[in-house]
Structure 1
Amino acid sequence: MATLLHRLGLASVRHRGPVVVAWLLVLLGIGVAAATLSDKTVSTFEIPGQESTTALDVVGEKFGGDAAGAEAQVVVEAPDGGAITDPATAERVTALVGELGRLPGVASATNPLDPAAPVVSADRRAAYSTVTYTARAPDVTDEQRAALTDAVERARTGGLVAEARGEATQEPVNVGGPAEVVGVVVALVVLAVTYGSLVTAGMNLLTAVVGVATGALGITALTGLVQLQSTTPILAVMLGLAVGIDYALFIVTRFRHELRAGRPVAGAAALAVGTAGSAVVTAGLTVVIALCGLAVTGIPFLAEMGLAAAGTVVIAVLVAITLVPAMLGFVGTRALPRKVRDTPGELTERGLYRGWSTAVTRHRWAALVLAVVALAVVAAPVLSTRTSLIQHPAEGTTQARADRLVADHFGAGFTGPLLVLVDGPDAAARSAEVRAQAAALPDVSLAAPPRLNADRSAALVTVIPSSAPDDESTENLVHALRDQVADTDGARVYVTGTTAVSIDVSHQLDEALPIYLVLVVGLALVLLVLVFRSIPVPVVGVLGFLLTIGAALGATTAVFQWGWLADVVRMGGTGPLMSLAPIIVVGILFGLAMDYQVFLVSRMHEAHARGVEPRQAVVTGFRQAAPVVVAAAAIMFSVFAGFVPEGDGAVKPIAFGLAVGILFDAIVVRLVAVPAALALLGRAAWWLPRPLHRLPELDVEGAALQREEHAPVRG
């Protein structure tokens, strides 16, 4: 692999003009495809074959347009001291309902004061109208949402409170904004400090942006062919930007090293791709396999997220081994600080890393125990982690205020009602029985009269829980309902609704997480054995990864579930973690942790292979790789952390988990625990049973290239 990549790097730098033009044409072509093919993403999470999802399909079939469109609830509260049924207030509510029914895209708006079907709170202080659109949620336009918002604002006169909630009020998640800008700016500063050259920093960042733009536009074009989740492009951009910058960093750092060793520009670029590029390909492959492995969960939308993010990583790797060396050909010796361009020799080693490596390997027991204990303490909250797909709107929004009004006047369960679908020729009689059975359950606040479809072959019973949608009691109620309302010969009974779908998806995600964790841990062991020709090194690396995962999820639980540092992350409220967060954090952190393990330990392995004494090999490898790992971690941390304060509510916990996970893994695990453990093991760290010597060798250090005598290459 090293030899092949060396040839690719040499061809890229020699033909740098055509390579740059080719990438620009690819970017332009995918941009045109994105502009012509793109469609809207969705924010619903469903798993085909589950009871709740199957029931929604039946509802759409049996009730047609009455159940297909997006809904919003406009909640009104009477002025202080009054009742919503007071004549003057009732007149204004009726006028508001009439205006809502005439809004663009609206199919109907219910009148909560209709004597035939009133929707008024028990204290008679509040009511809400259900506004049904002709289109599903992803197809509700910005203009239609704005019209609804304007109507609600006009209703706020004379002390009347009016707020709106529901899927029709939710704006689509967009890629691009402050989060990306913050990450890019911090990355530029870190690169400029690392390189001592603004030209090199800018080139590194430019190649990463080309890669992530290509990947993001490709996903945008794909939305015209496949229905993707709204978080998919954001995750791809977040990961693609981070790895794109880091992979270029590794190759540029090696290029600078070869320039200082006296090699010409073309030869230095080719050797950088052959050596550091081998590690980049290995690390990128690890991330890709981890992301593609999300398909084992059996959850289609999660597999799509993983494949989309994996595609972006593949593009980042291709950019690193082709466009980066081509750009290095243009930059040439300007990649070095001006004062050292004409002075051969090694780049100055910072005293910090020399002292750090010496202290960690000398006091290895203390360093290892301290690192493990610190991460174990941070990981403790993971024992109380709860997950849910129900996400609370941000504080200060009309959706949050509407939720609060509904919870205060109607009850917490009204914000997430359950639907019991009765399907069959006996639907009318059976639905009456179902309503009575549901009403008798202890956690049910209300079971509404059945609503029959046109041919009376199906009925819907709305069940209002006593607890909030993300409360554990509501989950127990869903299970109790399913146990209570069994199918009969004349009807099939389903429990569905947004809350039930969330509970079902969360349950399957929780079940899939241990399986996925075993998969990625097994993959890590196999890959690291092939890379380092050792058993102890992979074991140390994987145990470190498990500590990283525990600490990342523990910290995320403490912040988003317990409410620690709530003001820093600007979250709307506490509650269970987004159900997707744990498994996505595991998948992405696995790949990135193995990146750092490969880049750090490969230098130690290289020194050991040259005959350096084991402890000194750890120190030597640490001094060479630690500055790059620290810079890479700082960049990834800034990119991920940039999505936390201003990010979408579904992305916040994922971005936070990745940011702190990178910090823990790079600084505590890879730069403290791993070198301390390897120093403790000594020569035993590189032990490999004789039968395994026949395994193929992955030359990620480019040893084959370094053994060859390359003829001088003209730059």
Structure 2
Amino acid sequence: MSRLLYRLGKAAAMRPWRSVAVWVVLVGAMAGLAGVAGGALHDDYTQSGSGSQKARDLLEERFPALSGADARVVVHARTGRVDPGALAAAGARLRTLPHVSAVDPALLSPDGRTALLTVRYSVQVTELAPKETVDRLKSATRNLDAAGYQIEFGGQVPENVTAPGGVAEGVGIVAALVVLFLAFGSVVAAGLPLAVALAGLGAGVSGVTLLAAFTDVSTTAPTLAVMVGLGVGIDYALFILTRHREGLAEGLDVPEAAGRAIATAGQSVIFAGFTVLLALCGLVLSRNPVYMTMGFATGLVVAFTVASAVTLLPAVLGLAGRRVLRRRDRAPGATVHADSPRVRRWAEHVGRRPWAWLLAGLVLMTTLAAPALGMRTWPSDASSEPESNTVRRAYDLVADGFGPGANGPLIVAVDLRKTGADTLPALRDRIARTDGVVSVTPPQLSPGRDAAVLVATPRYGPQDERAPAVVDRIRAHDLPPGAEITGLTAAYVDLSRSLSDRLWPMIGAVVATSFVMLMLVFRSLVAPLKAAAMNLLSIGAAYGVLTAVFQWGWGAGLLGLPHGVPVSSLILLPMFAVLFGVSMDYEVFLLSRVREEWLRHGDARGSVSSGLAATGRVISSAALIMVAVFLGFAADPGLVIKQMGVGLAVAVALDATVVRLVLVPAAMALLGRANWWLPKPLARVLPEIGPHGSPDAADAGHEREPAPAR
């Protein structure tokens, strides 16, 4: 592969406009196709076999009016009571809106100051345009607003209205430009990685839109794909550009330096991207359509960013010439120091006292990870939104007027073909006597009178720690055959437990496949084990910080949250997959250079110092860029993306500092030549794969490995 990449990189640098033209056509064509044939985003949280899913299926079959989306219009009188006549007039107008199948009779709170109008739609929320639908709700309730009532909106439709995007991406791009300029001291060098990453990102995002035309793609998948693609895309281009600048500093001409950079760092980029793709493939084990499409969408964007780094970047390097160097470094005879003497001295210092630094790093990381032992994972609801959001104000008004459980009623669907209608009064009484249930409505029969629905109002809100126990008690003691519970709280219970159950199998599969790949790449058993352990440590620390910031509320105010909230169970699987892949990126880049030095000199400890000195500055710059990109997404109004941004930023920061600068050099110094130990029978079977390639294209693929310690 190294020879092929060398020829590809050199040819692109020598004839740059061909590659640039191909990418311009590719990005333009994909954007055009996405605009014409792209599909709409769709969240599919189907949980086959769960109780809530069985109940939803029964509702869809027997109660069409109850199976679609819903919206809540909350009316509050600032003084006095709500006028029933005004409510009736508003209800009549709401019934005339598109896709509205029914409007439930208005519910008045005991004090008469708050009223609730539930609007039911004949289609699912993903088939509606939430912003346009909410605008129609506002128009239909204008008489109430004119009468001086406070009008707020909740339910599925308003909660699916997303704020305009672009701010997080803009923050990340500006931060990346600043870091790149400080690292390279050249405007051209700073702009190239960003331009190449944006080209890959543009093609990848268009591909995600096209993918949505053939399968369901979740509404959060493009945001996650942009977050990861922007970070890794800049990083991949940065690593290749750094190697190219080293070649120019050694006196190589531009095409030769570009070819060697692609043959070495470019090959590392391909393997690093493959590790990310492997980790994302682990989301398939979730068996949840939303997370599977998150993996597919993000993987598609990562693949395009890798392609742009190894094909488009050498072309723009050819166009830029020696302008990627600082102005003072372009002069004849100028000396450019690629290595960082400060990082080398640090690595040697750690290598002289490996036990002390290893223990210090482990203590720090385990301390940060400790809060994760008490992590409570739960999907977010409207109570987690800032008070400026109408869905949060609607939630609070309902909780104050009807009790917190009214925000998450439990819908009991009964199949009367399996249970007689004469059992319904007793069923209602049993549920009403269940600890934690406030009230139960009389049974409502389906049009075919072959199914019934009872609505139980729990004492606790959907996010309350006691709410799952209420669902469990009803399921364990009160339900006859053919009856199941659904509703927001019940669906949250099933989803949270399903995702938690599948987290560990996914972790095992991702770690195992990554271990096998790194064993093939580095021809070692020890290096992959160490890499997996270090990556799990940084991920555990990120989970711990997430718990402290969000669940304990230490950073809630800074992030625009009203109070501490559980860690969203929706982020556990995708966050692990992304973090493990990104951590492996840095491991591949660092170990590739360390192994290159090891193959060249056979000095186990010296190769660590040299490899870290050669990559320390660029890994730090890359990590700083990625942290800035991820923190930009921490400002996203959506709680899932906010938590994902904070978690990814923390993990990358710890990985690039504590792990790469302390734990890795300390552990490798202690292991010495054993870092590259591989049993001889296994060595004879494994293929020769070198992620670092060969700096000399003429010798690509013919490196001789020193004999490992026995």
Q: Same fold (TM over 0.5)?
A: yes
Q: Is the 8 A contact 1:194 1:631 kept in 2?
A: yes
In the alignment, is residue 109 of structure 1 matched against residue 140 of structure 2?
Answer: no
- The amino acid across from 2:463 in the alignment is D
Aligned pair in 2 of structure 1 residues 154, 201: CA closer, same or farther (>3 Å)? farther
Q: Is the 8 A contact 2:264 2:695 kept in 1?
A: no
Distance 1:232 1:49 in 2: 25
CA deviation profile, 1:289-323 (whole Å, cap 9, x unmatched): 11012112222221111111111111111111111
Distance 1:493 1:51 in 2: 9
The partner residue of 1:605 within 588, 595, 607 is 595
- For these two proteins, the number of residue pairs brought into alignment is 695
- The amino acid across from 2:124 in the alignment is R
Kindly state the Cα deviation for residue 343 of structure 1 after the two structures are TM-superposed.
3.0
Aligned pair in 2 of structure 1 residues 161, 399: CA closer, same or farther (>3 Å)? same
> After the TM superposition, which residues 50-199 of structure 1 pair with which residues of structure 2 at under 5 Å, given as runs?
50-64=50-64, 66-80=65-79, 82-84=80-82, 89-103=83-97, 105-112=99-106, 119-141=107-129, 142-150=131-139, 155-156=144-145, 160-173=149-162, 176-199=165-188
Q: Is the 8 A contact 2:294 2:574 kept in 1?
A: no
- The amino acid across from 2:125 in the alignment is A
Aligned pair in 2 of structure 1 residues 348, 291: CA closer, same or farther (>3 Å)? closer
Kindly state the Cα deviation for residue 525 of structure 1 after the two structures are TM-superposed.
2.3
Distance 2:409 2:670 in 1: 58
- The amino acid across from 2:259 in the alignment is A
Which residue of the partner structure matches residue 410 of structure 2?
418
Which residue of the partner structure matches residue 694 of structure 2?
703
Unpaired segments ≥5 residues, structure 2: 702-710
- The amino acid across from 1:125 in the alignment is R
Distance 1:98 1:139 in 2: 23
Kindly state the Cα deviation for residue 684 of structure 1 after the two structures are TM-superposed.
2.6
Taking only aligned residues, the RMSD between alpha carbons, in angstroms, comes to 2.2
- The amino acid across from 1:260 in the alignment is A
| Percentage of matched positions with identical amino acids | 38
Kindly state the Cα deviation for residue 79 of structure 1 after the two structures are TM-superposed.
3.0
Which residue of the partner structure matches residue 255 of structure 1?
244
Distance 2:667 2:87 in 1: 70
Unpaired segments ≥5 residues, structure 1: 113-118, 711-715
Kindly state the Cα deviation for residue 105 of structure 1 after the two structures are TM-superposed.
4.8
In the alignment, is residue 209 of structure 1 matched against residue 198 of structure 2?
Answer: yes
> After the TM superposition, which residues 657-696 of structure 1 pair with which residues of structure 2 at under 5 Å, given as runs?
657-694=647-684, 695-696=686-687
- The amino acid across from 2:400 in the alignment is D
Of stretches 501-510 and 70-79 in structure 1, the one that deviates more from structure 2 is: 70-79
- The amino acid across from 2:41 in the alignment is T
Which residue of the partner structure matches residue 713 of structure 1?
none
Which SS does the other structure have where 2:66 is aligned?
A: helix
Distance 2:566 2:422 in 1: 38
For normalisation by structure 2, the TM-score amounts to: 0.93
Q: Is the 8 A contact 1:37 1:223 kept in 2?
A: no
Q: Is the 8 A contact 1:172 1:230 kept in 2?
A: no
Which SS does the other structure have where 1:577 is aligned?
A: coil
Kindly state the Cα deviation for residue 640 of structure 1 after the two structures are TM-superposed.
0.9
Distance 1:63 1:75 in 2: 24
Which SS does the other structure have where 2:558 is aligned?
A: helix
Which residue of the partner structure matches residue 430 of structure 2?
437
Q: Is the 8 A contact 2:339 2:615 kept in 1?
A: no
- The amino acid across from 1:52 in the alignment is S
In the alignment, is residue 296 of structure 1 matched against residue 285 of structure 2?
Answer: yes
Which residue of the partner structure matches residue 563 of structure 1?
553
Aligned pair in 2 of structure 1 residues 154, 40: CA closer, same or farther (>3 Å)? farther
Which SS does the other structure have where 1:381 is aligned?
A: helix
CA deviation profile, 1:625-665 (whole Å, cap 9, x unmatched): 10110011011111111011134222111111111111111
Q: Is the 8 A contact 1:175 1:234 kept in 2?
A: no
CA deviation profile, 1:76-105 (whole Å, cap 9, x unmatched): 23334x344xxxx33433343344334455
The partner residue of 1:618 within 608, 627, 651 is 608
Which SS does the other structure have where 1:128 is aligned?
A: strand
Kindly state the Cα deviation for residue 460 of structure 1 after the two structures are TM-superposed.
0.9
CA deviation profile, 1:52-87 (whole Å, cap 9, x unmatched): 2232122112112x124321111223334x344xxx
Distance 2:246 2:700 in 1: 18
In the alignment, is residue 457 of structure 1 matched against residue 450 of structure 2?
Answer: yes
Distance 1:692 1:572 in 2: 57
Distance 1:427 1:322 in 2: 68
Kindly state the Cα deviation for residue 573 of structure 1 after the two structures are TM-superposed.
3.8
CA deviation profile, 1:120-149 (whole Å, cap 9, x unmatched): 223433221112234432233333311323
Aligned pair in 2 of structure 1 residues 217, 706: CA closer, same or farther (>3 Å)? closer
Distance 1:621 1:403 in 2: 55
Of stretches 229-238 and 353-362 in structure 1, the one that deviates more from structure 2 is: 353-362
Which SS does the other structure have where 2:108 is aligned?
A: coil
Which SS does the other structure have where 1:235 is aligned?
A: helix
Which residue of the partner structure matches residue 468 of structure 1?
461
CA deviation profile, 1:353-401 (whole Å, cap 9, x unmatched): 2332233223322221111111111111101111122433332111101
Which SS does the other structure have where 1:278 is aligned?
A: helix
Point out 4+ residue stretches in structure 1 off by more than 6 angstroms: none
The partner residue of 2:629 within 628, 635, 639 is 639
Distance 1:647 1:669 in 2: 31
